[in-house]
Structure formats: structure tokens, C-alpha cells
Amino acid sequence: MGYGAYSTSDRTIRASTKGYATKSVDEIFESKNMNNAMNPHNVKMRESRDSKEHPNSLAIVLALDVTGSMGSIPHHLVKKGLPDIMDGIIKKGIKDPQVLFLGIGDHECDTSPLQVSQFESSDDLLDKWLTDIYLEGGGGGNYGESYMLAWYFASKHTSTDCFEKRKQKGFLFTIGDEPVLKSIPKANLSKIMGDGQFERMDASTLLDMARKTYNVYHIHVKEGSNGPKQEVMDGWKQLMGDNLIIAEKHMEISNIIIETIKKNSTIKPGVANESGKEDIIL
């Protein structure tokens, strides 16, 4: 996947037509259950591939907490955040970003603890997948969410040309306000993914797996009931180290993502080759 181009002007027109700026969360995210196309069960692979249109694809995974108060994050992305991210990344010289959305819930409590889109580049398809996310609004009293499912899915169920062809890691951002649950049993993985190939998996192990092919970050948002708690941030700091990023407000997320990718991408400004196209220096 990943065909088509991102047009800021087309996106602006569509956003105006659909009333993204004024509609509420419930008016935009109308799904009352998980979209079948986003069900991860028996999904073999989501692919980020090079093409004539996008010769230097860069895989970016945005894993959004869709429990409780975190519905404000996808709402912000629809209204303003996503076009800011895409426009900002492209203007920084990363011409071929391909974004995959994950919806993250709680595997111990929710009916849809993981939702998966496809890698896309075009503004219309990115909007489609983003607004198709089911905001379950669940979670539980177990003091954590299943952010580790993003690491599992990225490591076992994505295939990217940026890494396989160029040894350039993609970017994976989990975003939310809760701690990560410490582990996930085989039975839960089998129910969610249809895999069943592992026993209980620790979050730290899954993080290490994802880090083999992705630059992995967590953006902790200091909103919601647990967002301001120091013990939550300390737990993430112990797990993520310098790859923990604190956002005081969810409106900061777009700029954080842009600047993090700019700072850590191995894509550098190229030199025009004989065909007139730029080479990418890795």
C-alpha cells in the first residue's frame, strides 16, 4: 500500500466540506464497533512499499490510545493534526511518508483492543482510515493499556521497504496517558491476532522486537486522570529511556512527531543524479 500523494489543498477542501473543524468527536467518529477492515485477526502483513511515485518510502506507525478521555487525540488529528504532520514531514525533505494507524485499547477489558489500518500516503485514504477508527472509550481499572500490541504488530505483521531495502528504520509512536500493561498472555494474542505462536509476552520483550526495524517512541500526554501522575511517567521513562516524550497537551503531538522524525531520520537532502531526481543518502 502507500499509493497516491498527499495534497494539502485537496485535504483543506474536503475538511471544509465534511465540517471537520466544527463537528464533535461523535459526529466524526460514528462507528459503534470495530470496522471489519481494521480487524487484525488473521492479518498476515501490512506493507509499506516503494513505487515510481514514492521511490523512498518511510514507514510511520501512529498508535492512538482510544480509551476514555484519549478520544481527543484522533479528534485533534482529524481537525488539524494530521495535515500538519504530513505537510511538516514533507517540507522537512521526507517526500514519501507512508502512515499506518493503530487503535489501542485494553486487552483485559475491551472488545477491540487493537485496530489496524493500511500504510497510506494520500490525504483521502489517510482520512478514511483515521475516521474509521472505533473509539471504544473503554479501558479498565487495571492501571494500564495495551500499548505493547503496537510493538507486537509492528514487529510481526509489517513489512517495509525502507528497512528491507535500505536498512532505514521506520518510526513508531504510541500515544496516550496511561501506563503500559506489563505483559499479554498467549490466549489474548491468539484471540486478537489469530497467532497463538507465543506464550505470555512481556512488554519489554515486545518493545525490543519492534526496535529492530522501527525507531520507537512513546508520547505521554499529561491529560486524563493518570496523565499528570509522576509514577506513570517514571514507569515509561524506565522502559523507554530517552525515547519517552512528554506532551503537556494533546495539541503538541503534531509538532513532536514532525521534529522527532526530522531529527532522527536517516534521509538526508540528496544530490540530483543524471535523471534529474534526487538521490537519498543513508
Q: Which of 11-15, 49-53, 70-74, 246-250 has the lowest mean pLDDT?
A: 70-74
pLDDT at 280: 34
Please enumerate in sequence order all residues whose Cβ is within 8 A of that of 177, keeping only pairs 6 or more positions apart, or say none.
Answer: 65, 69, 70, 220, 221, 222, 223, 224, 225, 226, 227, 232
Q: Which of 12-21, 64-73, 77-86 has the lowest mean pLDDT?
A: 64-73
Parse the chain into domains and list their residue ranges: 8-264
Cα distance between residue 256 and residue 105, in whole Å:
22
Q: Stretch 8-33: mean pLDDT, rounded?
A: 95
Is it the case that residue 271 has pLDDT exceeding 90?
A: no
Q: Stretch 57-72: mean pLDDT, rounded?
A: 92
CATH class of the domain at 8-264 = alpha beta
pLDDT at 197: 64
Q: Stretch 56-72: mean pLDDT, rounded?
A: 92
Is it the case that residue 79 has pLDDT exceeding 90?
A: yes
Cα distance between residue 192 and residue 198, in whole Å:
13
Q: Stretch 163-180: mean pLDDT, rounded?
A: 97
Percent of the chain with pLDDT strictly greater than 70: 93
